[in-house]
């Protein structure tokens, strides 16, 4: 009884199949395909995704921070920079901008830095839609800092003015401008007093090193950074129309609320004789968008990853079983035809010898049956 005891279940003989090279080949290919697909699925799972949601901006009480760094090709005592919003509040209520005497012409080292920054910013603006995932998730906030110091100070007096600083304004439409003369308080409006300025003193060529709204955040691109306008005309007006969009960035690197903006620009020469009226200067007219953008970085859930892996493995195994059955049937069909043809050929070979073997030398009882089996 002990010798006959067998605790392991056995399959019936009909369940066994002869091992074949085709089945082994399909098995190896299936395992290789599963490994490759699992690697790609894991890489896909590890990559984060950006989701953009939109909502109505209901935050009306907060302030808007404006960061400014602009160089104008006029002396500081000839120009005035201030801001005026729709509530008729001006710069005195929002903060103070610093003015620094400088030279408008850049040194060779500064020109290389500026051209590089201008080229990179221009490329990022043009390819932002294809680079936005990388910009938001890599912590990019600009690769260029401030202009490097001049190697040798130029000779002569300074001929430009750098206006920089931060203003905290109301979250409403407004107009930041740089024009000739200093601003003066006026009960009926806003005015700049430009006395003793000659026509050749006007030159509103400018460089915008930085212009942004809100706190810095990764992935936010400021379209006017690196913008440069050079003109030989004295009474030139530059207008920038900005649409500011509140943005909340929630990624694995940062979680902050800030602002991004789009801009369209226009420039023209002021000539009252030709009917082109206005005030020469640099004007940034901005307005707030009623929509708020939420940028959210997220991963696929683990449950979805496991389900996709199970689907890949199960699907490949099921497909491999069907493919193995088809290949086996084709092999059996081909081999059976070939075997059948070979057996018929062997039978034809022995048909001529059977009559001689069946001729008896003596009388054979009719009830006797002779069975002839061809040799194998």
Please indicate, yes or no, whether residues 89 and 216 belong to a single structural domain of this protein.
yes
Please indicate, yes or no, whether residues 269 and 161 belong to a single structural domain of this protein.
yes
Please indicate, yes or no, whether residues 25 and 64 belong to a single structural domain of this protein.
no
Which pLDDT value is given to residue 226? 87
As a whole number, mean pLDDT of residues 342-347 equals: 58
Please indicate, yes or no, whether residues 292 and 310 belong to a single structural domain of this protein.
no
Is the residue at 240 inside a domain? yes
Is the residue at 365 inside a domain? no
- Of the segments 1-5, 44-48, 56-60, 194-198, which one has the largest average pLDDT value? 56-60
259 band by pLDDT with thresholds 50, 70 and 90: very high
Q: What is the pLDDT of residues 76-126, one digit of tens each?
A: 989 989 888 887 777 667 778 899 999 999 988 888 888 888 888 888 888
| Contact (Cβ atoms closer than 8 angstroms) between residue 225 and residue 141 | no
d(CA 110, CA 309): 55
Query: How many angstroms from the chain centroid is the CA of residue 58?
Result: 28
Please indicate, yes or no, whether residues 293 and 308 belong to a single structural domain of this protein.
no
Which pLDDT value is given to residue 364? 47
Please indicate, yes or no, whether residues 271 and 334 belong to a single structural domain of this protein.
no
Is the residue at 9 inside a domain? no
374 band by pLDDT with thresholds 50, 70 and 90: low
Tell me whether residue 300 is exposed, middle or buried, using C-beta atoms within 10 angstroms of its C-beta: 0 to 12, 13 to 18, 19 or more. middle
What is the maximum span of the chain, computed from C-alpha positions, in angstroms? 154
Which pLDDT value is given to residue 66? 93
Angle at alpha carbon of residue 96, lines to 90 and 100, rounded to 5° = 125
Q: What is the CA radius of gyration of the chain?
A: 43
| Contact (Cβ atoms closer than 8 angstroms) between residue 82 and residue 314 | no
The three-state secondary structure class of 364 is coil
Is the residue at 2 inside a domain? no
Q: What is the pLDDT of residues 320-336, one digit of tens each?
A: 888 878 877 877 777 76
| Contact (Cβ atoms closer than 8 angstroms) between residue 272 and residue 233 | no
Both structure tokens of 257: 């609320």
Percent of the chain with pLDDT over 90: 24
Please indicate, yes or no, whether residues 185 and 237 belong to a single structural domain of this protein.
yes
Is the residue at 191 inside a domain? yes
20 band by pLDDT with thresholds 50, 70 and 90: low
Per-residue pLDDT at 142 exceeds 60: yes
- Of the segments 114-118, 195-199, 298-302, which one has the largest average pLDDT value? 114-118
Please indicate, yes or no, whether residues 163 and 306 belong to a single structural domain of this protein.
no
Domain membership of residue 141 as a residue range: 51-298
Domain stops at, among 269, 298, 327: 298
Is the residue at 217 inside a domain? yes
Please indicate, yes or no, whether residues 230 and 326 belong to a single structural domain of this protein.
no
Is the residue at 372 inside a domain? no
Please indicate, yes or no, whether residues 108 and 35 belong to a single structural domain of this protein.
no
Q: Which of 87-101, 301-315, 333-347 has the lowest mean pLDDT?
A: 333-347
**Is the entire prediction scored with pTM above 0.75?**
no
Percent of the chain with pLDDT over 70: 81
Per-residue pLDDT at 284 exceeds 90: yes
As a whole number, mean pLDDT of residues 42-65 equals: 86
Q: What is the count of structural domains for the chain?
A: 2
Is the residue at 364 inside a domain? no
Domain stops at, among 298, 323, 348: 298
d(CA 100, CA 337): 98
As a whole number, mean pLDDT of residues 263-290 equals: 89
Residue 64 CB contacts under 8 Å (≥ 6 apart), including other chains:
168, 169, 170, 171, 213, 214, 244, 259, 288
As a whole number, mean pLDDT of residues 285-312 equals: 88
Please indicate, yes or no, whether residues 149 and 246 belong to a single structural domain of this protein.
yes
Per-residue pLDDT at 51 exceeds 50: yes
Please indicate, yes or no, whether residues 100 and 241 belong to a single structural domain of this protein.
yes
């Amino acid at each position: 009884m002990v010798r006959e005891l067998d605790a392991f279940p056995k399959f019936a003989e009909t369940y066994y199949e002869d091992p074949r090279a085709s089945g082994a080949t399909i098995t190896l290919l299936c395992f290789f395909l599963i490994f490759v697909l699992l690697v790609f699925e894991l890489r896909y799972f590890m990559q984060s995704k950006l989701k953009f949601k939109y909502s109505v901006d209901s935050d009306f009480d907060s302030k808007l921070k404006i960061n400014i760094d602009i160089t104008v090709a006029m002396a500081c005592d000839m120009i005035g920079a201030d801001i005026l919003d729709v509530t008729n509040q001006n710069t005195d209520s929002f903060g103070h901008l610093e003015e620094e005497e400088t030279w408008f012409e850049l040194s060779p080292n500064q020109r290389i830095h500026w051209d590089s920054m201008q080229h990179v910013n221009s490329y990022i603006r043009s390819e932002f839609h294809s680079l936005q995932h990388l910009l938001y998730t890599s912590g990019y906030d600009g690769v260029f800092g401030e202009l490097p110091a001049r190697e040798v100070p130029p000779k002569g007096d300074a001929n430009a003015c750098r206006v920089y600083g931060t203003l905290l304004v109301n979250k409403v439409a407004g107009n930041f401008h740089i024009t000739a003369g200093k601003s003066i308080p006026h009960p009926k409006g806003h005015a700049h007093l430009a006395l003793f300025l000659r026509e050749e003193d006007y030159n509103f060529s400018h460089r915008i090193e930085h212009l942004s709204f809100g706190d810095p955040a990764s992935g936010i691109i400021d379209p006017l950074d690196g913008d440069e306008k050079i003109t030989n005309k004295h009474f030139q007006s530059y207008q920038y129309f900005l649409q500011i969009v509140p943005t909340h960035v929630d990624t694995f690197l940062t979680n902050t609320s800030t602002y991004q903006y789009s801009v369209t620009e226009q420039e023209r020469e002021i000539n009252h004789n030709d009917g082109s009226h206005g005030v020469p200067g640099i004007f940034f007219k901005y307005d707030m968008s009623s929509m708020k953008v939420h940028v959210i970085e997220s991963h696929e859930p683990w449950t979805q990853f496991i389900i996709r892996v199970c689907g890949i493995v199960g699907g490949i195994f099921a497909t491999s079983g069907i493919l193995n059955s088809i290949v086996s049937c084709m092999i059996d069909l081909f081999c059976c035809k070939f075997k059948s043809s070979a057996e018929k050929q062997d039978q034809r070979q022995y048909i001529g010898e059977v009559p001689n073997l069946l001729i008896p030398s003596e009388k054979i009882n009719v009830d006797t049956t002779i069975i002839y089996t061809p040799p194998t």
